Amino acid sequence: MITEEAKAEVFWLAFKGLPKKEQHLVVQKLLQDREFVEDLMDIALIEQRRSEPARPLEEYLAEPGK
């Protein structure tokens, strides 16, 4: 396990060890961070579209309106 994964695991276990009310407060705090929410939405979109076929950027940019 690399260092980043180990740190993430420690934070995750600490979070899961909190009572539900405190977990809720942590999530509320995270959702107040606009940059974090944007990153989370980007990650969700990437995961949602992961199975779609890739195509060259030039092809995408050649579409009308791009």
- The whole-chain average pLDDT of the chain stands at 95
| Residues 1/9, Cβ–Cβ less than 8 Å | yes
Q: What is the mean pLDDT of residues 33-57?
A: 96
What is the distance of C-alpha 1 from the center of its chain? 20
Rounded average pLDDT over 23-45: 98
pTM of the model: 0.65
Eight-state DSSP code of residue 63: S
Sorting pLDDT into bands at 50, 70 and 90, what band is 6?
very high
Cα–Cα dist 56/10, whole Å? 39
The torsion angles phi and psi of 19, rounded to 5 degrees, stand at: -60, 155
| pLDDT score, position 50 | 94
